[in-house]
Chains A and B, each alone.
Chain A
Amino acid sequence: MRDRTVSRQTSPRRSRSSVLLLGLAVLLAACGDAQQNALDPAGPYAQGPHDLIIPVAIIALVVFILVQGLIIYSVVKFRTRADDDGSLPKQVHGNTRLEIVWTVIPALILAGIAVPTVQGIFEQMNEPDDEFMVVEVIGHRWWFEFYYPDHDIYTANEMIIPVDTPVRLEMTAADPARSPNQGVIHSFWIPRLAGKQDLVPGQTTFLNMQADEPGRYIGQCAEYCGLSHANMRARVVAMTDGDFQTWVDEQTTPADVPEEGTLEADGRELYHDLGDRMACASCHQVWEDGARNPNTGPDLTHLMSREEFAGAIHDLDEENLRQWLRDPNSMKAMQYEVNGLGMPNLDLTEDEIDALVAYLLALG
């Protein structure tokens, strides 16, 4: 654990050296507010690949300087000068020894790089050595759903994990419900915690992840998945073990049923029945008792325990919820009318919106 901390402290210097490689060091000084920064690993599954790429980047930098240096030297040294006598230079056709040199040396360098690369591939993909937690990730157009099989918890957009514990994500993709018939490929990517891995409908892929420090790590879908691909973001919130246990306890408690006669109770009624319009409950779930039955839309049981919604592109507050219910397409591009993906506009009246928002805000 300690060496991890050490390597984390050195990472700003390392990321700087990799930038040098790209010849853009001047502009790096300002990268402090980059939160989705792949050069700033915050866990072992991001740190390992980072430690592998830095030496490679340095080798690439050396080769870069060598080749560009040769080009610049040739350009300066062998330019035709003003006092040129018009004679032709010596006609050299090649040099076998040199050909061998620049075939063998790069091949050896690459062979040297190949060994740790192959080791790294297996380390990255195998199950973690320590005891790990499993979270199932399902990619929908355009939001991530998380299911905790050990605790029977469904949540969306924000994945909560305990710090210092390896998490193995078991991932797939499906639209709109849990059938792969309409799913498309997504990719789950939280750069500071791990590289990305695609989510493929009909298959399960795996990704290891671990956070060293509590915090909110941001990421997004990294495989183009259609209209609102840009609006499919994700968060991983790492908590101390105590906080995580509190969260689990909260999530495994059924939602409160509001008291009769309150605005919230009216909202709950509308949630289940909107007359001839489709009710919220036909796509979403608010678990009150019995078994949890996941539905096609995000689970709303403890909606307000999350900070963001709509693919984690909007803060979860009253104003945004109102606008979302009034006209979801104005907040996120969706295509419910075309192929049933996303939130439909339910033509709610302002009174209905008042009641529904009151109900949703009470889902703590």
Chain B
Amino acid sequence: MRRDEREAAYVEFVTTRRSHLRRIAYVICGDWTQADDLLQQALVKLYVAWPRVHRDGREEAYLRRILLNANIDESRRPWRRERSTDRVPDHAAREPLPVEERSALMDALHQLPEIQRKCVLSRHWLGLSVAETSAELRIPEGTVKSYTARGLATLEGLLSAEHEEQQTGQPIC
């Protein structure tokens, strides 16, 4: 595949699907900066794998797998790798979203352990089957079921507590 052909198809895909993929990255990470970094890395990998992935029509599945398999907790560690530059950025540094702009649902999702969150999101948001989730996350199907069940139960508890807190104005201890 010639480079201009590769890039035309790649650019079209990225332009069309990026908003949706960015949303997936955010729901997985719970942080827009981290989500944008993660998606950027994933899109570079997609570029590299494009001829093979595009031929098989697996572009979105390929990116979803990268996003789901990213070790979010790992990247929160104090050491990291990055792309550095001394060019002045084209845009101002991003202000974090105010806390109140992050919903109770997102807060609750990100209180789940990472693997439980990924199982819940894969099954109940992305619509993957148990077998597909097992393949995507590389964990046994039984583990997918138990993590999903535990994640949903925890999520329900967190959201109920949040709801009661809003009703009474008192934190639930």
Report if A and B associate in a common complex: no
Residue positions of A touching B, CB distance < 8 A? none
Residue positions of B touching A, CB distance < 8 A? none
